[in-house]
Amino acid sequence: MEPVRMEARTGASGGGVAVVTIANPPVNALAASVRAGLLRTLREAEDDPAVRAIVIAADGKAFIAGADISEFGKPPAPPSLPEVLQAIEQCAKPVVAALNGVALGGGMELALACHGRVVAPQGQLGLPEIKLGLIPGAGGTQRLPRILGAAPAFAMMLSGDPVDARKALSLGIADALAEGDLLGAACAHALRLADAEHPPRVRDRADRFSPEDRAAFEAAAAAALKRASGQPNVEALVASVRAALDLPFDEALAVERARFQALVEDPRSKALRHLFFAERAAGRVPGIGREVKARPIEQAAVIGAGTMGGGIAMCFAQAGIPVTLIEVKAEALDAGLARIRANYEASVKRGSLSQEEMDKRLSLIICAVGLDAAASADMVVEAAFEDMAVKAEIFSALDRVAKPGAILATNTSYLDVNAIAAMTQRPQDVVGLHFFSPANVMRLLEVVRGAATAPDVLVTSLDLGRRLGKLPVVVGVCYGFVGNRMLAKRTQAGERLLLAGALPHEVDAAVTQFGFRMGPFAMLDLAGIDIGWRARKATGGRAPVADALAEQGRFGQKTGRGFYLYPEGARAGVRDPETEALITSLSDAQGIVRRSFSAEEILARLFYPMVNEGAKILEEGIAARASDIDAVWVNGYNWPSFTGGPMFWAESVGLPKIVAALDAFAAETGDETLKPAPLLRHLAETGGVFAAGEGA
Ligand code: 3HC
């Protein structure tokens, strides 16, 4: 099918209007074929004496989701978007956009180049380029300030968030809101404009610019630049909006375009674009097609009202799904519900939640004692104690109680989902749903596919994850799944660094400098050093420094001391001479001559073993794609998004360099697990990349 078609509109409201319709599913991205089709049909309409006005419309739910992101970085195919937009703006006949759905990025820019804009109630307009490490590159930074003023336009482009149809109308971005027949309203508007002498052009406006607006913009720009140190797109946005105020339109447009094109080549934007596609690919399971339908989930149950269970129940309530919170004892339920209520009350106090919404969510959470209360749930999520015996008891009981077809999910972080499934007569209905703490906040959801998990259970879990506002990523069964399995490698490497001569603050500084919000030791102090210590006691594992700290009752923030010291009332830890002396004494006891490490070496020692583990995870099929691993680490562990995630980052470092370093680490420590995975070595030797040969 042609991506752009043109029809003549006849009848009372539409005679003399050419309707140009974009049809490029799924979201009408402005691919080369669409740009070419738009230019061609526009010229035809302009040359046709029977046409008085033109309406640009779109098929499907979206108007236009923007430039085609997959074309970025490839050789440019003419015509460029600015060329198409210039043709629209300079068209002698009025062009009106009929905005039926989202108009984002280049899609909104196209609408701004039109002479009029009519929006349907479900329309949304926004310039989200900043989220991809870019700025609008087809006039957005020039035309939006002319409609809103520089300061409000800058704020909108800096957030990247869209406005809805009503807001667009009240701001003057849209000229009219069409409650019913959008196309009819757009045609009527276009004909009205045809009766005027010249089609109105946004570029000719300067009525919103004023000294006050300029001052407000400069203040906002200074604040944004301070916050965004090192983010080139924020700097480019400031420069482009300033150009709108200082330069003639065409010159300023050229400034914007040059800035945009430079950003497209910036590795940070490439990383963010990689993640855009990674997050969407993560929801696709190789071998499971669209024919597999999700089971309906209208009612849920969560077993365990602890921090995790309570957080999961909040996720269901937030999505409007009634949920029964189940405990063995009424006291535990009361405590759990009190925690949930306190959490909501804090949000109401902060202003991020209305009282009404809080009441609504609380009314969706029903508390019950005993597993029988799970009988009517379509989805049961077990979030009880992390102990196989406890899980075994719960799942064999659930097998008796739950209705046929109910999905039985476990929130285990480490335990064998297949063994849990084997406790039931319906292993096909069992799946892992690994939420991250705090469950109501963290976006990642590892969906653990057991050996017997049915395809529709997987599809339902992915669907549900999205309903809960999560990013679901399918992973296979192994100790720690994708995220925690790789985290264990970082933790082990951190311990080694401390014993070899680095101090906690040096390691954490290297990691936060890299872009993480927190370093590994500050993180351990926050989570509680005792958690890993107790787990290691059970499994026979060793972490000499963390264990020594825990044995002294230094559990981290909760005891006021751990890797750092937390003086009364302090939120951030400070260096603790006692901890540092303890670390040095442990090195001495092992006969290690301590030495210093550069930030670069610290990162290599922490992250290369993780990348290696990621390669093993791929080899074993625990993750279907390297990009799934990146999606896990960015959304669950705060890996800095502008580096694209560990596997994308590894490729930017160079796989041969990583392989050589891992060989050296393995030789130095005698730890065979640090030897490069065969896949990693193969890719390094052949110049390959992780993405090659992956499932779609
Ligand atoms: N380019 C290419 N593909 C795109 C795309 C785009 N701009 N927007 C969405 N897609 C693809 C997705 O990759 C996905 O493909 P898949 O089915 O093969 O995985 C498909 O369209 C559907 O997307 P979603 O799964 O995200 O569908 P939703 O319905 O949840 O969301 C959306 C739709 C709100 C449009 C969302 O996709 C979105 O936010 N898209 C990106 C918008 C954007 O950032 N636009 C700016 C682009 S940069 C630009 O325009 C530069 C200009 O200034 C010159």
Residue 524 belongs to domain with CATH number:
1.10.1040.10
Query: For residue 531, what pLDDT is reported?
Result: 86
From the list 637, 635, 634, 614, the residue with the least C-alpha distance to 625 is 614
Query: For residue 14, what pLDDT is reported?
Result: 60
Residue 675 lies in a domain: no
- CA dist., res. 584 & res. 579, Å (int): 9
Residue 310 Cβ contacting ligand 1 at under 6 Å: no
Query: For residue 148, what pLDDT is reported?
Result: 98
Residue 27 Cβ contacting ligand 1 at under 6 Å: yes
Pairing assessment for the beta strands 17-22 and 4-9 based on DSSP bridges = antiparallel
Taking the centre of ligand 1 as the mean of its atom positions, its distance from the CA of residue 69, in whole angstroms, is 8
**Residue 581 is encoded by which pair of tokens?**
């002396």
- Of 589, 610, 641, which closes a domain? 589
> Which residues, 6+ apart, have CB-to-CB distance to 562 below 8 Å?
524, 525, 529, 549, 554, 555, 556, 573, 579
Taking the centre of ligand 1 as the mean of its atom positions, its distance from the CA of residue 24, in whole angstroms, is 12
Peptide bond just before 78 cis, omega within 30 deg: no
Both 468 and 535 in one domain: the answer is no
Task: State how many domains the chain has.
Answer: 3
Both 525 and 431 in one domain: the answer is no
| Catalytic-role residue among 129, 256, 279, 495 | 129
Q: What one-letter code names the amino acid at 368?
A: A
Residue 324 lies in a domain: yes
Residue 594 lies in a domain: no
Residue 75 Cβ contacting ligand 1 at under 6 Å: no
Residue 255 lies in a domain: yes
Query: For residue 565, what pLDDT is reported?
Result: 97
Burial of 340 (0-12, 13-18, 19+ CB in 10 A): buried
Q: At 696, is the pLDDT very low, low, confident or very high (cuts 50, 70, 90)?
A: very low
> What length is written for the chain?
696
Q: What is the mean pLDDT of residues 568-594?
A: 93
> Could you tell me the residue range of the domain that residue 557 belongs to?
503-589
Residue 696 Cβ contacting ligand 1 at under 6 Å: no
Both 212 and 69 in one domain: the answer is yes
- CA dist., res. 333 & res. 306, Å (int): 8
Q: What is the mean pLDDT of residues 401-408?
A: 98
What values do phi and psi take at 103, rounded to 5? -125, 100
- Of 216, 247, 265, which closes a domain? 265
Residue 136 Cβ contacting ligand 1 at under 6 Å: yes
Taking the centre of ligand 1 as the mean of its atom positions, its distance from the CA of residue 256, in whole angstroms, is 22
From the list 361, 348, 356, 372, the residue with the least C-alpha distance to 468 is 361
Closest residue by CA, ligand 1 atom 25: 280
Both 236 and 382 in one domain: the answer is no
Q: At 231, is the pLDDT very low, low, confident or very high (cuts 50, 70, 90)?
A: confident
Both 525 and 451 in one domain: the answer is no
**Taking 60 as the threshold, does the pLDDT of residue 693 lie above it?**
no
Both 257 and 319 in one domain: the answer is no
Number of H helices, E strands in the chain: 28, 19
Q: What angle in degrees, to the nearest 10, is found between the helix axes of 150-159 and 232-246?
A: 160
CA distances from 658 to 397, 606, 665 (A): 48, 12, 10
Residue 585 lies in a domain: yes
Taking the centre of ligand 1 as the mean of its atom positions, its distance from the CA of residue 410, in whole angstroms, is 32
Per-residue pLDDT tens digits for 19-77: 999 999 999 999 999 999 999 999 999 999 999 999 999 999 999 999 999 999 899 99
Residue 669 lies in a domain: no
Residue 178 Cβ contacting ligand 1 at under 6 Å: no
Count how many Cα atoms sit within 13 Å of the Cα of residue 419 in the half-sphere of its side chain: 13
Name beta bridge partners: 177.
119
- Give the CA-trace dihedral at 40, 46, 49, 55, to 10 degrees: 90
Both 95 and 208 in one domain: the answer is yes
Q: Is 109 a catalytic residue?
A: yes
Residue 170 Cβ contacting ligand 1 at under 6 Å: no
Residue 495 lies in a domain: no
Contact 95, 151 (CB under 8 A): no
**Residue 294 is encoded by which pair of tokens?**
């999700």
Both 469 and 507 in one domain: the answer is no
Q: At 582, is the pLDDT very low, low, confident or very high (cuts 50, 70, 90)?
A: very high
Closest residue by CA, ligand 1 atom 30: 280
* Whole-complex ipTM: 0.99
Q: What is the mean pLDDT of residues 194-217?
A: 94
Both 377 and 454 in one domain: the answer is yes
Residue 70 Cβ contacting ligand 1 at under 6 Å: yes
**Residue 237 is encoded by which pair of tokens?**
């946005």
Both 364 and 448 in one domain: the answer is yes
Closest residue by CA, ligand 1 atom 32: 65
Q: Is 620 a catalytic residue?
A: no
CA distances from 69 to 29, 138, 269, 282, 446 (A): 8, 14, 11, 18, 27
Residue 35 lies in a domain: yes
Closest residue by CA, ligand 1 atom 38: 65
Both 192 and 124 in one domain: the answer is yes
Q: At 428, is the pLDDT very low, low, confident or very high (cuts 50, 70, 90)?
A: very high
Taking the centre of ligand 1 as the mean of its atom positions, its distance from the CA of residue 117, in whole angstroms, is 22
| Catalytic-role residue among 44, 83, 109, 298 | 109
- Of 566, 589, 612, which closes a domain? 589
Q: What CATH code is carried by the domain that includes residue 417?
A: 3.40.50.720
Q: At 11, is the pLDDT very low, low, confident or very high (cuts 50, 70, 90)?
A: low
Instruction: Decide: helix, strand or coil at residue 118.
Output: strand
Both 470 and 523 in one domain: the answer is no
From the list 60, 109, 64, the residue with the least C-alpha distance to 88 is 109
**Taking 80 as the threshold, does the pLDDT of residue 598 lie above it?**
yes
| Secondary-structure percent of the chain, ordered helix, strand, coil, rounded to 5 | 55, 10, 35
